[in-house]
Structure 1
């Protein structure tokens, strides 16, 4: 008799074996197994013996049943090593590790041998078939590669029921979105000759007919017209234009029947409305479908009374005003009771709940009630509505925590948090803080929603969770040819979060045959941990302008600027600064030195003191969707400051953004979808005094690269004398400069996360020779579409705009570096 026949074994099966009595033997310590692992002891182990204390040493590991994978691969996946001691819980963990590979249909583990004489752990496995190739047949309306790119069903992977199910669900959903709701999907496998445990896997798809909604009919509607009901539905009939394809979508239809139509009627007082029946009548040959809906409209309820109870923090008048609103829904004539608008009531209930949240009543409840009154013959149906408010006690902030900032210092993030320990909780300030931290640009977006954790005292701990991202960027590029056929390029380094303290620094060198610029800058948002910010910039520039070709400008200098947070105005800062530079404007060889030239002027020293105020509540520095930014700045040059020239340059700007919708994304994850926003901006500037030594401090307009932006027009073509082509000989370069300007933009933007934006825009603007000549009714207009993305080299964009007021109106393509217009 072979010795193995008497080997004592403990078998750990993937399917539990339930046993009430487990004999004790040499391996009796395994009897501690719990949950999904139990013991089955061979008859030779039924002799009572003392169980050893603690784990035993596994002398060797064997693998049986494997055909595709090597013993070494399976042993490594099992995470157990020969010569080490293990308990039953270690074996359980190793079994789970093997299952997690997805390579097996079944796994059994047992041990052979006597403790002290050599114990072997044996993995007995039944491997899953390897899908050498995956074919999706009969799928015509979507690309089969899209299925495998999106789901876990991929060639070269072991067969997985979950992966196949995921692929089927994806196919059905994609086809349904294209109006093909009826699909038959079958599975088929083929063995590969000479290759055990390897198969060819196929999904065979039978697409049904495309279902198109050709007609929508409604029965039972006596109050509202059919077109009104169709307008309230997401499912639309097939129309003449391409966007009215009439594609059948089961999810949208369900939404119409359970949400959209009931909401439409409820907002008009029909609280008892219901859909009695819905039927799809499909032509099997054409796929044309008639949707028949039967409704029971029910009576219209009129508002009899509105009441509030339980409110102490806010007055009856203040809360009632939110319900009645600007339309004054108060009933002055009892005989003319207004129709009850359930949609409005639901919206203002949410507003009042938010009002209490912002006032610190985190655990408050605003409980709406709608009570129909008994029917009285000859009278309209009436309803009494109101709120039962349970305010509770205001919650105070106990702790404000920050997690995940491995590099950025807490103080930098806390400067962006507008709610502090000891404050009354305010949801509005939590949201503002969340948006402010996100706008720093130091962390991955979308950020995780802050967690609000109540404690035993009824107060809350607020935790802002961030994930650091790389912020420094080494930028470089070069080109041969281009302007004047020269060699040009740039190299630089930008770090907006130096040392994790929010300080920013940049170095950049632009070089070329007609350009040699060096720039060094440093900004500290809190000098010596104070509320005073500061920046320093040094520059040495030698450049030529594309639009002004008759000379070259050299400028050497620097500037320093400080910012002060104004009291009781956390979004507003006062800035002061001083700059000094030496400017040289040289004519190119062969160009006559004329009084009307921008160049050929004496070298000049520019000494400038600046003061300005900025208020910024925008939720993103480049792609805002909410908030506003206003800035006013005055630059005083010369006079008592010394240097050449003597003038004051004033500029003002404002931009305002409001979100108008969100598509996709996770509703619980702000910023994860595509946000649509409406934005407007306005800029103004005026210069008074003698700026002759520094003509480039004046205003010029057109294009996007230099001066004031106006898309749809070439650079510097908008002048105080009107529109002139770029190389027109009818105007001198200096005449293109103005002493005042106005520009305005309105746009609808689609923010694709925080790295890309597309927009439709309208621009308008003009320049004048003096402030007194400004005429807002005489503006040059442009409109078009734009695309902007954030790259390691900074924001870049393309704008394609139509200039309406050119001599020959037409389209203009603009390439833009830096933030948009």
Structure 2
């Protein structure tokens, strides 16, 4: 490679050298004279004034041969001209120039790895782009920059060919033909200088790997400069966490095979020896809080030095001072090494800085949502002392609203006011209008469809309005609900609902009435009002009531459980249902939780014609496992009973099976069956447990809600009050299912995504202990349901 190609600026020096060598021919020898006028020939786009500004002489001043040479050099140095000549006509200076063409457009052919915007931005960084003066040296630098962009992605076989097309009015179009080639893969990773840890152990810490069984999916065998730099930091952290305070490493040696398809990495490390902690001290301005800060130190004498543990202590002290208003507190750990004994004295130097208060809170990015909706979730107040804990709580509360894909809270100093900061809440809104669709397939139900429309943030007010319509074979429902989360300024919420539901049996198809539709139908019409009262930052008590009228229509061959219900309660019943409960929500997000928990306890109590009660409990935990994995645990139990000497009403039974409970089994199929028709009856007692491990979806770093998961489910439905666990009868008169009220287990994989149409879940589950007669359903798909 030539020096001019490697150092493009060398081409810029060439015109100066040529101008100096050819000066006698460019400017004829003349006697100095006083300039009467200056004329410029050959300019098209450059303004004459711009040319005059580079000349070392003005009208009325004396002009010499040295100034003529200087004028040529100055005009060449602008980069606007490819040729410059200075002539003298009497007392007039004549400047003749030939302008360089300008770049009219820049395009890329054959590019797939980047978009045009990203590459144009990179080229503008080196002064190459539309509207700029075209220069061969700058073209070479642009070509070099494009190759660097691809090399950073591991594409060493890239070829870039520029094509210049002359255009009218002294312009050119620049097109780059790009052959990207394949990404070079890592064939070998070696370590030099490692004695304490084997090469295999160190390789396990790296993100980049050699080709393996799953690298087609993970892509970790494809070289990337960014990943390489990240691996260097991982190695440094690995050694520092194990006490190697003198660890050092050279820049990794990267070599490529002649065919440019294989990469070989070599890390050269200098381990040193591990250090133990001899003494831990505090220093600096402790604000008289020595005891409180001392309790935050988790590093103890006698332990091996651990950088992660040390940083955790730094964060704990910084966060504690942040809750006291010291927004810019600085804590620096400083180990002093005793190399002879391999011990270190660790001192935490504390500089709390100036105590500050929040001048104002600013909300940005909310094009539709009103500021008030975000501000009322803020626990950090304006004109109050800065409190880091309150700001974190505020951020989590805004995120839990579910209106935003991203919530970012930043603190900005107020210029000229060292004791003030502004809190800036930047949000990225997501579509809160949601169409809910559900699709399933079963041996008897065939295709099941449900639909609905809701707006969780109507007119940006934070209120929600929903209309749900269910059109499946077993359920038809119309529900209109409105929720005002801030019915009062104290945060009391109110939900008003009207509903119409028509239910036909969950038929297993195992009895004598297989395929017969219409042998029972229950119609429920009701209205209700419910309130939620916050009692702490995370706790809420809710209470309300519903009035409901049920009408049960029976036909020839109706399930025996429903004819028994009519005999006991009558065809039409009225019920006033009161509910009371408590919930606690510490999840970090309503869309894709990664940590925290959700707890709910509730009870329903019905009077008038239907006399029963149902107690319910649910517990969820979200545990982060590293940066990209989340373990989710869910458990729920429902326990119903009747009072007043009657049986638990079958129309209030609970069901399990399918998405939301035990996947791998057909929806609502667990539990007792009707002894005459084989209909799924559900039960008054239900227990469900789920374990789900969320994994990142490749290429979805910008959408945290798109995740794979593996799951295991367990559940059972029992008959309960006044019922027996009947198994139903098949066509031959034998029991339709074995052990209908026993536990059922399943496991599988799935995909979840907060899609524009609502929460999407796909699952492929396998029933692990299916009994004879169980209805299984491997693939299940639903939009509008959550974990």
Q: TM-score normalized by structure 1?
A: 0.68
Distance (Å, rounded) in 1 between the aligned partners of 2:370 and 2:227: 51
Q: How far is 1:765 from its partner?
A: 1.6
Partner residue in 1 for 2:653: 698
For 1:87, the equivalent position in structure 2 comes to: none
**Residues 558 and 581 in structure 1, CA contact (< 8 A), matched pair in contact too:** yes
Q: Is the contact between residue 702 and residue 715 of structure 1 (CA under 8 Å) also seen in structure 2? A: yes
In structure 2, the partner of 1:255 is 229
Name which of 304, 311, 326 aligns with 1:339. 304
**Rounded Cα–Cα distance in structure 2 between residues aligned with 1:805 and 1:241:** 30
Select 1:744's aligned residue among 690, 697, 700.
690
What is the total number of aligned residue pairs between the two structures? 666
Which residue, 562, 582, 590 being the options, matches 2:549? 582
> Which structure has the higher relative contact order (CA within 8 Å, separation 6+)?
2
CA distance in 2, matches of 1:366, 1:496: 43
Take 1:404 and 1:277, find their aligned partners in 2: how far apart are those partners? 41
- Pair 1:647–1:262, CA change in 2 (3 A): same
Task: Tell me the residue number matched to 1:303.
Answer: 277
Corresponding residue number in structure 2 for 1:678: 631
- SS of 1:688's partner is strand
Secondary structure at 1:232 match in 2: coil
Question: Does the CA-based 8 Å contact 1:607-1:637 persist in structure 2?
Answer: yes
TM-score (norm 2): 0.71
**Distance change (3 Å), C-alpha of 1:441 and 1:216:** same
Is 1:168–1:185's contact at 8 Å kept on the other side of the alignment?
Answer: no
d(CA) in 2 for partners of 1:511, 1:747:
32
Report if the CA contact (8 A) 1:187-1:203 is conserved.
Answer: yes
> What is the CA deviation profile of residues 686-725 of structure 1, one whole-angstrom value per residue up to 9, with x for unaligned ones?
1122574732322221113xxx6211111233216xxx8x
Q: Distance in 1 between matches of 2:448 and 2:281?
A: 78
Q: Deviations over 1:74-129 (max 9, x none)?
A: xxxxxxxxxxxxxxxxxxxxxxxxxxxxxx9999xxxxxxxxxxxxxxxx995535
Report if aligned partners of 1:152, 1:167 keep a CA contact under 8 Å in 2: no
Match of 1:460 among 391, 408, 421: 421
Q: Is 1:611 matched up with 2:580? A: yes
Match of 1:228 among 201, 225, 233: 201
Q: Which residue of structure 2 aligns with residue 689 of structure 1?
A: 642
Q: Distance in 2 between matches of 1:389 and 1:345?
A: 14
**Kept in 1: contact 2:359–2:422 (CA 8 A):** yes
Tell me how far apart the structure 2 counterparts of residues 342 and 486 of structure 1 sit (CA, whole Å): 57
- Cα deviation for residue 559 of structure 1 reads 0.7
Q: For 2:139 and 2:715, how far apart are their aligned partners in 1? A: 58
Aligned counterparts of 2:486 and 2:144: Cα–Cα separation in 1: 56
Structure 1 residue 599: Cα displacement = 7.4
Give the drift of 1:216: 1.7
On the 8 A contact 1:516/1:543 being kept in 2, the answer is yes
Taking a change above 3 Å as real, the CA distance of residues 532 and 16 of structure 1, as seen in their structure-2 partners, is farther
Q: Give the C-alpha shift of residue 554 in structure 1.
A: 0.5
Query: Residues 687-726 of structure 1 correspond to what in structure 2 (within 5 A)?
Result: 687-690=640-643, 692=647, 694-704=649-659, 709-719=661-671
Task: Tell me if structure 2 keeps the 8 A contact 1:762–1:781.
Answer: yes
Distance in 2 between the 1:624 and 1:224 partners? 37
Gaps of 5+ in 2: 1-38, 61-78, 83-98, 122-128, 509-516, 726-738
- Matched residue, 1:783: 747
Q: 1:767 aligns with which of 700, 717, 734?
A: 717
Q: Are residues 209 and 421 of structure 1, via their aligned partners in 2, closer, same or farther at CA, if it must alter by over 3 Å?
A: closer
Equivalent-residue separation in structure 2 for 1:573 and 1:804 (angstroms): 38
Kept after mapping to 1: 8 A contact 2:485/2:492: yes
Q: Partners in 2 of 1:19 and 1:188 — Cα distance?
A: 35
SS in 1 for 2:313: helix
Cα distance, 1:389–1:407 mapped onto 2, change above 3 Å? same
Question: Structure 1, residues 27-55: CA drift from partner, whole Å, max 9, x if none?
Answer: xxxxxxxxxxxxxxxxxxxxxxxxxxxxx
Sort the Cα spacing of 1:811 and 1:215 in 2 relative to 1 into closer, same or farther, 3 A: farther
Change over 3 Å in CA distance of 1:807–1:430 after alignment to 2: same
RMSD of aligned C-alpha atoms? Answer: 4.9
Aligned to 2:325, the other structure's residue is in SS state coil
1: CA distance between counterparts of 2:353 and 2:108? Answer: 60
Kept after mapping to 2: 8 A contact 1:686/1:771: no
For 2:379, which of 418, 423, 444 is the aligned residue?
418
Alignment map for 1:429-468 (pairs within 5 Å): 429-443=390-404, 445-454=405-414, 456=417, 458-466=419-427
**Aligned partner (choices 687, 690, 708) of residue 758 of structure 1:** 708
Superposed counterparts of 1:19-98, under 5 Å: none
Residues 182, 261 of structure 2: 8 Å contact kept: no
Decide whether aligned partners of structure 1 residues 755 and 186 sit closer, same or farther in structure 2, where only a CA change above 3 A counts.
Answer: closer
Offset at 1:330?
A: 3.6
Question: In the superposition, relative to structure 1, how do residues 477 and 615 fare at CA in structure 2: closer, same or farther (>3 Å)?
Answer: closer
Taking a change above 3 Å as real, the CA distance of residues 644 and 360 of structure 1, as seen in their structure-2 partners, is same
1:434-583, aligned counterparts within 5 Å?
434-443=395-404, 445-454=405-414, 456=417, 458-466=419-427, 471-472=432-433, 494-508=454-468, 517-527=477-487, 529-547=489-507, 550-566=519-535, 569-583=536-550
